[in-house]
Amino acid sequence: MNEVYIEIINSNDSNLYIPVAAGEISIESYRSSMPSKAVFNILKDEEINVGEGSEVRIYVDSNPLFKGYVFTKKRDKDGIIAITAYDQLRYLKNKGTYNFSGYTLSDVIRQIAMDYKIQCRDIENSGFILSDFIKDDKTLIDIIQDAIDITYENTGVLYVLFDDFGGLSLKRAEKMIAEYLAEDATAENFSYQSTIDSGTYNQIRLTLKGKKGIIQEYFKNDSSSIAKWGVLQYTGNIDDGEDGNAKADKLLGIHNSIQRKLSVSGAFGDLKVRAGSVIYVRTNKTGDIELDEKMTVESCRHRFKGGVHTMDLSLKGGLINSV
């Protein structure tokens, strides 16, 4: 049915309004470092009153999809009000200073949530202890993302933080499998890009510097890709005590490849799919590779208009290594 309705609880008078939506309703989510966003238009009448900070709830066929707060509103001469609302992750754009030594990723999230009055729902225990995790005047979402990255680098377990209709949740990415197939028959279009213009390097040059200049250089390259693409050099510095050879090897392994992006537009809508979900992707329309594998949804936009539900997705996994 894809019947969408919106509830707004006004921040000034606490009254509940159920406005008439005009045009498309869009809800976007991102796997990392950004809040989910709802954008929609409503018709102004004699009763409705919407202020900044008002709570927004969006349901599809009685299923809760989005809960957030009004941050921006625009109005035109016809009485149409354009609303932009964000979920709780928007409040993680505040900056803070913390010494989290001895904390886990889960502990970090719970502490920040308590300090900034953010509701939690299901925070999975991440287990790994972060040592010397000190952050000075950084955004809260960047602090949490750093903790996610460090936990992944040390355990191989990737976690996804998201707002689950008004409560922060942390889950292992492997648990966020959605039974959904994106293929040529279920999507309006695919966009595939391959490039060596950005993010591709086949020669790594790292420098250890001292007070009197260069102390030592570390140099790694791949002659076979240089023969194909020419020299694409990455230059950087290393700190005293770092293993320069190991770092150069790691950087070459990461960057010595074609950067590939894949997005899907106008796919059949499914409420189970959100950023962080793992779905199945199948297409042979890219021209140089064939995809038939599981991939992670890096961003997801649900669109509702005229009773039709579609999705726009950006994907990553396997040979698709960039977004």
Q: Is 269 among the domain residues?
A: yes
Residue 33 sits in the same domain as residue 81:
yes
Residue 98 sits in the same domain as residue 65:
no
Q: Is 322 among the domain residues?
A: no
Q: Count Cβ atoms below 10 Å from residue 239 Cβ, excluding itself.
A: 9
Alpha-carbon torsion (197, 202, 207, 213), positive or negative? negative
Which residue shows structure tokens 């993010």? 199
Residue 185 sits in the same domain as residue 304:
yes
Cα-based angle 295, 148, 151 (whole degrees, multiple of 5): 100
Q: Which two tokens mark 178?
A: 């959605």
Q: Is 321 among the domain residues?
A: no
Q: Which two tokens mark 275?
A: 């950023």
User: What integer pLDDT is reported at residue 45 of this predicted model?
Assistant: 81
Exposure of 133 in the CB half-sphere (CA atoms within 13 A): 22
User: What integer pLDDT is reported at residue 287 of this predicted model?
Assistant: 85
Q: Residue 299 belongs to a domain with what CATH number?
A: 2.40.30.150
Residue 185 sits in the same domain as residue 309:
yes
Residue 128 sits in the same domain as residue 103:
yes
User: What integer pLDDT is reported at residue 214 of this predicted model?
Assistant: 67
Question: What total of structural domains would you count in the chain?
Answer: 4
Residue 111 sits in the same domain as residue 128:
yes
Pairwise CA distance, residues 186 & 307, whole Å: 17
Alpha-carbon torsion (97, 102, 104, 106), positive or negative? negative
Which of the residues in the chain have pLDDT under 50? none
Q: Residue 98 belongs to a domain with what CATH number?
A: 3.55.50.10
Residue 151 sits in the same domain as residue 180:
no
Q: Which two tokens mark 158?
A: 């990737």
Q: Is 147 among the domain residues?
A: yes
User: What integer pLDDT is reported at residue 208 of this predicted model?
Assistant: 86
pLDDT tens sequence across 196-237: 999 999 999 999 876 666 678 999 999 999 999 999 999 998
Residue 191 sits in the same domain as residue 299:
yes
> Can you point out the beta strands (E) in 245-289?
259-268, 278-283
pLDDT tens sequence across 184-197: 888 899 999 999 99
Residue 168 sits in the same domain as residue 242:
no
Residue 233 sits in the same domain as residue 278:
no
Residue 186 sits in the same domain as residue 268:
yes
Beta bridge partners of 302: 27, 311
Domain interval for residue 224: 203-255
Task: Out of 86, 121, 147, pick the residue that ends a domain.
Answer: 86
Residue 249 sits in the same domain as residue 120:
no
